[in-house]
Amino acid sequence: MNLYSALFYLLSLVILASTALAITRRNLVHAVVYLVLSFFGSALLFYLLGAPLLAALEVIIYAGAIMILFLFIVMMLNVERLEERFFPARQWVPAAVLGLLLAVVGLLAVSTQPGGDRLLKTAVAAPSAFGSYVFQRHWLSVEIVSLLLLIALAGVLFLGRDNDKGVSEEDR
């Protein structure tokens, strides 16, 4: 096993562990922080596999912009903490069944390797060529995504605003 293989497996374990911690935390801020760690691990994995542009996009877009938006949403909604320690069984059973099904399909996909003897051609594109391609051919999709993020932000501001206009500070 060489250094790249060891780094690959180490990063994979970090990504899996931080994602598992993100989906099992009851505190939403902690879940967002673990998800950011998972995104940084994914970016390092992209960089290790020879895709520095994807690594930079992962850090800038996902770990930066979208996670800050999620953190802003969590703080604006001011979600009350639930006293219940564990999720009820009606939520665990479907998640366990779907997780087991996903694990079986993943193991089958990894073990059978259809077309595993063929090598894929490496696609190399400069960041400027990639940017030109995206903004010349898919500009409408980029604008739609930015509009959806703006609508989500406006929705969070609407949900997080204080609706107690008639209540004085002493009554709160």
pLDDT computed for residue 78 by the predictor: 64
Q: How far apart (Å, rounded) are the C-alpha atoms in residues 160 and 75?
A: 9
Q: How far apart (Å, rounded) are the C-alpha atoms in residues 18 and 37?
A: 6
Fold of 1-79: Four Helix Bundle (Hemerythrin (Met), subunit A) (1.20.120)
Q: Give the model confidence (pLDDT) of 122-135 as tens digits.
A: 777 788 888 888 88
**Better-predicted residue by pLDDT, 87 or 122:** 122
Average pLDDT for residues 34-58, to the nearest whole number?
88
SS3 25: coil
For residues 76 and 160, the answer to whether their CB atoms sit within 8 Å is: yes
> Pick from 53, 62, 60, 56: which is nearest to 123 by CA?
53
Cut 0.85: pTM above it: no
Average pLDDT for residues 72-77, to the nearest whole number?
77
